[in-house]
Chain A
């Protein structure tokens, strides 16, 4: 894995992080090294521009949202703990996992739901859905088409007919998907 096994890395709050995220010590150290690489000016925390400076993220259609996930609640900085907490959602699921851990299916879905739901009202409104769709689709698609697609998406999943998707409805609409695999990174095992 890492090339620097010989040097012990002093990771702040290592024990707490390992306990709450379930990462192994080696993984935490690797993540800390990555954190340090991203934090180019060695401030000790990450700002948005640090993450935006990742080239391939900049041309990711939902790159903004992903970066925003690290800076919840209007925060401007992200310390290492936050960094790891977000990434912990993408740990592969163990066989014997309960539905309580931070990398359980439920938790992963909640994370994804948050990315859709920007105003944090617990529902994905039509406008929010439209916004996400607009980000993911090429410029050839007209606004009318986008609106129709959005309507269709909401209509398919909206059971209580309130014109928005609650978390339960969202979870139901993706129940056939293999979320455990789609939202797991092997290297974070």
Chain B
């Protein structure tokens, strides 16, 4: 893009804007039509007849029958608008980093709402709560649950649950009671809002919204643990807020409240939460089981993942359990087994479709939020709204402080004060609050609540969303390097990062072993046999092994010691030192440090920590690039071992073999295997045979390989010894 003339770029962008605004205008009749479609159907019948009458009058070659396609047409136009708006934002590279996308989308929504209001002179369509809860929310939550990195999630599950459950309850009651206190002040004319109404309002405004959090947090790069804390909290607090909301709503309608009702409420919390998890796991189990049998119809495999997840959501909602918790439990539960059962292409399809749907949903939600803001739905009361915002911030900050204090006493991994600030400040409210407020029963002050909710959401998304990034940067008080790091520093930094990651792997993660081991035991004993297609280590085919050498598989293979297939690196050898066509055109005048810096930046392997696990716009980067790196590393390592084997004398080799008692088929049989097959050292072959049965298991399938393969091995041995 940098090579094109700047003029062309602006032309392209302005064309794009014209296109976007054209679609905006086009969707206006769509929206007015949408309004019509949500109204009574008798109107539609009348239109239909009119349409019929028109047609019979004139036999035209070209006639317009809008009513026929109205609903799908409008839906498509809205989605089109959302997607075009998204593209438009990303055309300006700097803009998404300054203003979070959600703000811009709400802004577009506001404009749309304004246009509709101006044209129609009546309120634009309000986002239907059903549409939101049944159609727009599930894809986002599914996407979040499916790509949730499970290790950090379960490591921090205690903290997350504490924030989600206790924190939300704290917020709800805190905000509710403080607002009630404000209402008691006579000058504000708010006396008529009862305590119960206040609590009802606070129950829907207190919960942190996953959609908003996600969209803002991905632009500030915080460390993995922090991300998972806020994110996990925003997902799990749904259970609590659902219970409290329904509880207070039921209380509003009951004439009198007894203590048994309160206890029933507390009990229902457990039912909702645990019930949601159980429903999700059940559907996850069924989904895994189903994918066991799909090897003949690969094409519909992705469909099962989506169908079962959606079913779990709907089932949970049907029983008034927490649908969000259910869908997350389903996604996390089935992921492992489904990914083992389905083909690679289905795998990619699932990931892409999930990203796509969640992206669209996300955009639509924010646009609708903007649209629904304009209109006559609001009753304004400065004090109430102002104090709502103040109390939301205040109680969240207090809650985070207190809870973190408790957590830091119990855990080794402390939550620093900078983390605490981000958790407190990153508690954004979003569309869930908005939909819940519209579901409130109609009573006198409902419009006030709607107005307050709208203001809080807009405030959190705009103000907090925009300022969180500069604040995070400001708080990063660690010494900033005034100058760019020298080449040596860059290398050493990366070296130390790798070192630390390695030491971390060696020292392991403490405290989780008990449950993890139990779960692993359960898994290997029962679940795997039931849910996986063939539980076979990839011993049978070397080609299959090479194809499956994704990063995760590479880790597993290393752990079971199955890595040392000589010919598995054989195809790669020929591409190892690629001809100049593959190399990028780096200038060879490497006296300039800049070039070196660029090369290093591009080519140094990244550590686990620097690769973010969850990304809104693309597939997790952990899928393509680090997989390639992992392959290269393994292959290089294998070559090194080979070289060591080849260059050391046989005495040394025999000594090593005798000594390493725990022969998990580790380093020893592999290279020796290759060498025996190259028939260079016939006396090595008896050593191979005398190895343990596990390694013999390697040999047998290899022998069943075609002679052609063995010839390949022969010919490739010369490059092996030539390399390095």
Q: Is B667 an interface residue (CB 8 A)?
A: yes
Binds A, one of B96-104, B113-121, B627-635: B627-635
B513 near A37 with CB under 8 A, answer yes
Q: Is A1 an interface residue (CB 8 A)?
A: yes
Q: Is A19 an interface residue (CB 8 A)?
A: no
Q: How large is the interface on B (under 10, 10 to 19, 20 to 34, 35 or more residues)?
A: 35 or more
Q: Is B441 an interface residue (CB 8 A)?
A: no
B488 near A140 with CB under 8 A, answer no
A1 near B500 with CB under 8 A, answer no
A60 near B501 with CB under 8 A, answer yes
In the complex, which residue of chain B has the Cβ closest to the Cβ of A153?
B488
Bound-state CA distance A53–B510 (Å) is 18
Q: Is B18 an interface residue (CB 8 A)?
A: no
Instruction: Contacts A47-B660, A66-B499, A173-B486 given; indicate if A3 touches B578 (C-beta within 8 A).
Output: no
Q: Which 8 A-B pairs have the closest CB atoms?
A: A55-B555, A58-B558, A49-B666, A148-B590, A3-B514, A66-B502, A55-B559, A59-B630
A residues in contact with B596, CB < 8 Å: 148-149, 152
Instruction: Contacts A3-B514, A56-B555, A59-B558 given; indicate if A152 touches B593 (C-beta within 8 A).
Output: yes
Encode contact with A along B487-515: 1 for CB under 8 Å, 0 otherwise.
11101111111111111111111111111
> Of residues B498, B514, B560, B659, which shows the largest number of chain A Cβ atoms within 10 Å of its Cβ?
B498
Binds B, one of A10-18, A96-104, A179-187: A179-187
Bound-state CA distance A181–B496 (Å) is 11
Within 8 A of B (CB), among A141-163: 141-142, 144-145, 148-149, 152-153, 156-157
Instruction: Contacts A53-B666, A62-B495, A173-B492 given; indicate if A152 touches B632 (C-beta within 8 A).
Output: no
In the complex, which residue of chain A has the Cβ closest to the Cβ of B640?
A64
Within 8 A of B (CB), among A74-117: 76, 87, 90, 112, 115-116
Bound-state CA distance A157–B168 (Å) is 54
Q: Is B246 an interface residue (CB 8 A)?
A: no
Bound-state CA distance A64–B514 (Å) is 29
Encode contact with A along B655-671: 1 for CB under 8 Å, 0 otherwise.
00001111110110000
Instruction: Contacts A2-B510, A60-B502, A115-B499 given; indicate if A55 touches B487 (C-beta within 8 A).
Output: no
B555 near A133 with CB under 8 A, answer no
A139 near B577 with CB under 8 A, answer yes
B636 near A43 with CB under 8 A, answer no
A residues in contact with B663, CB < 8 Å: 49
Distance in Å: Cβ of B438 to nearest Cβ of chain A: 45
* Choice from B505, B510, B551, B660 contacting A49 with Cβ under 8 Å: B660
* Choice from B479, B487, B605, B660 contacting A136 with Cβ under 8 Å: B605
B413 near A187 with CB under 8 A, answer yes
Distance in Å: Cβ of A162 to nearest Cβ of chain B: 16
B residues in contact with A177, CB < 8 Å: 489, 492-493, 496
In the complex, which residue of chain B has the Cβ closest to the Cβ of A144?
B588
Q: Is A54 an interface residue (CB 8 A)?
A: yes
B residues in contact with A37, CB < 8 Å: 508, 513
Distance in Å: Cβ of A79 to nearest Cβ of chain B: 15
Binding site for A on B (CB under 8 A): 411-414, 478-479, 481, 486-489, 491-515, 551, 554-561, 563, 576-578, 582-584, 586, 588, 590-591, 593, 596, 599-600, 603-605, 608, 628-630, 632-634, 636-637, 640, 659-664, 666-667
A176 near B489 with CB under 8 A, answer yes
B583 near A142 with CB under 8 A, answer yes
Interface of B is mostly: helix
Instruction: Contacts A56-B505, A133-B491, A140-B578 given; indicate if A90 touches B510 (C-beta within 8 A).
Output: no
In the complex, which residue of chain A has the Cβ closest to the Cβ of B629?
A138
Instruction: Contacts A153-B491, A173-B488 given; indicate if A145 touches B586 (C-beta within 8 A).
Output: yes
Bound-state CA distance A48–B660 (Å) is 8
A residues in contact with B508, CB < 8 Å: 34, 37-38
Distance in Å: Cβ of A6 to nearest Cβ of chain B: 12
Interface residue total, chain A, C-beta cutoff 8 A: 70
22 contacts between A and B (CB under 8 A): A2-B511, A3-B515, A4-B514, A30-B511, A33-B513, A37-B508, A41-B662, A47-B659, A52-B666, A53-B666, A55-B558, A57-B505, A59-B558, A59-B634, A87-B506, A116-B495, A133-B491, A137-B603, A138-B604, A156-B487, A173-B486, A183-B496
B561 near A53 with CB under 8 A, answer yes
B residues in contact with A54, CB < 8 Å: 505-506, 558-559
Bound-state CA distance A3–B583 (Å) is 52
B496 near A137 with CB under 8 A, answer no
* Choice from A55, A76, A140, A189 contacting B584 with Cβ under 8 Å: A140
In the complex, which residue of chain A has the Cβ closest to the Cβ of B576?
A139
B507 near A61 with CB under 8 A, answer no
Bound-state CA distance A62–B513 (Å) is 27
Q: Is A168 an interface residue (CB 8 A)?
A: no
Distance in Å: Cβ of B156 to nearest Cβ of chain A: 13
Bound-state CA distance A14–B461 (Å) is 54
> Of residues B501, B502, B640, which shows the largest number of chain A Cβ atoms within 10 Å of its Cβ?
B502
B500 near A90 with CB under 8 A, answer yes
B residues in contact with A182, CB < 8 Å: 493, 496-497, 500
In the complex, which residue of chain A has the Cβ closest to the Cβ of B627?
A59
Q: Is A9 an interface residue (CB 8 A)?
A: no
In the complex, which residue of chain B has the Cβ closest to the Cβ of A49?
B666
Name 11 extra pairs, CB < 8 A, besides A49-B662, A132-B495, A136-B491.
A53-B664, A59-B558, A60-B501, A63-B637, A87-B503, A87-B506, A137-B603, A152-B596, A153-B488, A182-B496, A186-B413
Distance in Å: Cβ of B488 to nearest Cβ of chain A: 4
A residues in contact with B492, CB < 8 Å: 112, 173-174, 177
* Choice from B487, B501, B605, B659 contacting A76 with Cβ under 8 Å: B659
A residues in contact with B560, CB < 8 Å: 53
B residues in contact with A115, CB < 8 Å: 495, 499
B608 near A185 with CB under 8 A, answer no
> Of residues A4, A31, A66, which shows the largest number of chain B Cβ atoms within 10 Å of its Cβ?
A66
Instruction: Contacts A173-B488, A173-B492 given; indicate if A52 touches B667 (C-beta within 8 A).
Output: yes
Q: Is A119 an interface residue (CB 8 A)?
A: no
Distance in Å: Cβ of A126 to nearest Cβ of chain B: 13
Distance in Å: Cβ of A161 to nearest Cβ of chain B: 16
B residues in contact with A48, CB < 8 Å: 660, 666-667
Instruction: Contacts A3-B514, A59-B634, A139-B632 given; indicate if A156 touches B558 (C-beta within 8 A).
Output: no
